[in-house]
A and B are shown apart, each in its own frame.
Chain A
Amino acid sequence: MKNLIMADLKVLGHRIWAVPLVILMFTILFNFVIPGHNNHQSLKYFHVPLTAGILGYFLMEIWSHNRLHLEMNSLPCSKYSIVFQKYLMIFLFVAIGILSLSLFLEIMSLTTDYTFNATDFYNAVNYPMPILTKLSVFVIPLFFKFKNQKTALFGTIFWFLCLIPFISLSIYSVSKQNTQQDLFLYIFLLIISVIVITIFYIKENKSPKIKQLIFIPVVTVFTVALGRMISILADFLFNLSLSKFKPDIFKRFNGYYETFNMDAGTYKSIMELYYELLKTNGTALLVSTVLMLYVWKKGNIRNIMATTFQFITLPVIFITLEFFLLFAVFGADLIISSNSTFFNTDTHFFIADYMIFVLMLIASFYYSKKFLTEGGK
């Protein structure tokens, strides 16, 4: 392990100190150049993600073109060590970012009227961490798969900027949505798919085949339907448990819980609330699954399908599991605690975030190790 870490540090060379130094210099410069009084309060958030991100990108760039695969994999060290060390490097880069952040805050307290305090420091480290850690668990296996830092990075950015927030939002607002909104969602997805197909075929100048045409909208609908089904079920189970263990608690809630409380008390009322949502999304899931099985059986695009599942469905499952866990943590807190701290959402999000992160990390590690052996030309 030590040899692998030292190897990467040697490969990075001067970048290991130049990157945090440049970030430090730029943030100090921006603090004084940008008009305003408290710029350092925003600039402090850039240190850890920028340092870890840029160093990670440089390292991937150096590893690319099959070098990591051929060189490291041929050396006498286990695949487990090779993969594990790559995750350790992220923590090392974060530590360098923290060092750069401390220097920045110290310099700010010396040169401005700002006084260094632990809360500022803690927030500057803790707020970007969930995004950074999630990025890492996606980008590392993607890199091992494609051996190219750009593909890995664009794949991850695609998830984060497009897919995950979209699905997360649709899941998060699950109980506030109704069947009509869900129908609009699926129509919107189908329109997007048609646009994507059109752009693809115009660019590739190919005549589309019916199975390929079916594949794109079907996989899009399947992915979203799967995410929504899991989150609706999580929400349903959460309310079901609450109605049994803490029937009195509903009085305190606003929003959909209040609506629920109006009809609450029986299983029937809960079913009524969720029946329509489950019916719409369940139908979408069922139809898309059947169509996908048809494409799988008849088509010749199994490899594309398998890759799509690995890289699209997995993050969806993770995100929905995250919400599932979030509800579980909320529920457990409400059931166990007599003096409920339900509105202290930070703690619940923190617990759910890190619980799911462990699951994501295990899956990420598994795929990285698999791709390290399977990869190559």
Chain B
Amino acid sequence: MNATVNNGAAAPKVEEKLFQNRYLVDAGRPHITIKAGDTPSAALRSLVTTCPAGCYSLTDKGQVEIAADGCMECGTCRVVTAKTGEIEWHYPRGGYGILYKFG
């Protein structure tokens, strides 16, 4: 929404931005998981837009899903859901995850 408010800029695809980055993915060991629950809280749902890597998405059934491969380990989702406890958040194992070339 906001992307088109200013100057008519086209909505950017976050995937294209993440494509620039280097990662070492710890296959099969996601460092963030959503705990099973009935209805996602407003905080959890907000991550669909707030996560800077676009890792969160909403399913047809109204559940929130995460695909953490593009995660930049900023911790925003952990901070946002600290009160609801809906997310299990760990750092990736040593050496895995985002590898900033410039930072």
Query: Do A and B come from the same complex?
Result: no
Residues of B within 8 A of A (CB): none
Residues of A within 8 A of B (CB): none
